[in-house]
Chain A
């Protein structure tokens, strides 16, 4: 792996992404939905058990990320490698750079996009908290940003692996939808099932109560445990992606 190669791949993706209307459209939709959820939060305030510190805007944002985020990452990531394989441009790239640089460049670009979206949502949440006169939970915002980025990073790494394994966009999209469906099915099995550990939902949900504000009973250890688990999850899938691309013929 060569860092300058990763940088060039990432920069080019960013350049192309910034010109892609789909990135702006879906990123915009994501942020807009979060904005709507916060704006009309008073209509469903009864859903939140505790309302001691006013409307939990950060929690609402986090719930939006937890529920819509996986679909958004799927739309953005499913064709990140398969489109290059389908058109054949991957041959030009891989004849010049290491395969690991290619994958890391793509991953970091997607992570950057979704980290930026998370930042945007965090900012909206902050504005609402400020304008609503709520108790200011800066730690919650920071936790929201880190946790959302890692949570979405888990899905990016999953869909990146699927995209590497697919020969074209149709296969990649179908496999991504099926895999996401399986993950949702696993988490719906309940707390008793061991299948929940395979899904990023489980690690993401763990941080929900912290979004209302610190201190909480469970403490910082749970937060660290959850964030570290998501980080490991990303590492595992990224390693699988690297192995997969090294073994693939183009």
Chain B
């Protein structure tokens, strides 16, 4: 994920062989792209950002053509095309010219053509961009099914909700550089592990100072006479330590709760 111009599409183009790297190497499934591009192309399925189909051709005709380009025979290509078009909900539209398709239908056709010849990795460049909520839900459903069938999904998006719902592993790009990468859960803890809300009956300035002196505490904010928010930066669970310190200082804790950061918060924290 990343802002506009961060390098998401460029990364995808490099991975799928649409752009050539000026330096460095790209490995897909242990194979180096420049020397084994043919093999890599066989295990990759690409869904580019803009659906560029021939308006005058039918969905089935596109699928058969792309299937054959992926090394399938005419018969195999036709069989797989019918199954995949059914899978993405275009079974009844396979003989319709793509020129009459909506944006959502074209995206689904894009996914179907990428699934030809059973790829190991499906690369998608902002797949839900410009779709209505129904279309977004359909695409997410299809992608989940693909993932359940063992296909690795590699997708770019600036829609954080989408990433949170689909992805398990996230990388944050900024100005062409990967500034953070980890699992969704961990990435939320990269810059700050979150905010701990503490309720203390006899909250005093002494307790506040003691808490602020802890090395993992970034800052504290008093929300009311008894409620305080503690911003912490740690990968460990620090609640027991905070609780112990308050109790040892004579405080009576009635609430201790950690509010994990959303991916959006983590994203902006990482960018800052």
Could you list which residues of chain A lie within 8 angstroms of chain B, going by C-beta atoms?
A: 2, 4-5, 8-9, 12, 16, 84, 87-98, 246-247, 249-250
Contact = CB atoms under 8 A, between A and B. Distances in A.
A89 B41 contact: no
A11 B11 CA distance: 32
B69 A93 contact: yes
B19 interface: yes
A96 B52 contact: no
Contact of A2 (B16, B38, B110): B38
A97 B18 contact: no
B19 A249 contact: yes
A93 B65 CA distance: 9
B154 interface: no
Interface of B: 13, 16-20, 37-38, 41, 44, 46, 48, 50-54, 65-66, 68-71, 110, 113
A98 B34 CA distance: 11
Contacts of A98: 37-38
A19 to B, nearest CB: 8
B51 A88 contact: yes
Chain A at the B interface: mostly helix, strand, loop or mixed?
helix
B54 A87 contact: yes
Contact of B41 (A8, A88, A97): A97
Given A87-B52, A92-B66, A94-B17, 11 more contacts: A2-B38, A9-B69, A87-B54, A92-B48, A92-B113, A93-B69, A95-B18, A95-B48, A96-B41, A98-B38, A247-B20
A95 B38 contact: no
A5 B69 contact: yes
The 6 closest A-B pairs by CB, nearest first: A88-B52, A95-B46, A89-B52, A96-B69, A249-B19, A91-B48
A97 B110 CA distance: 17
8 contacts: A4-B71, A16-B54, A84-B52, A87-B52, A91-B46, A91-B48, A92-B110, A247-B20
Contact of B18 (A5, A9, A84, A250): A250
A52 to B, nearest CB: 52
A96 B19 contact: no
A8 B68 contact: yes
B48 A88 contact: yes
Nearest to B117: A96
Given A90-B52, A96-B69, A249 B38 contact: no
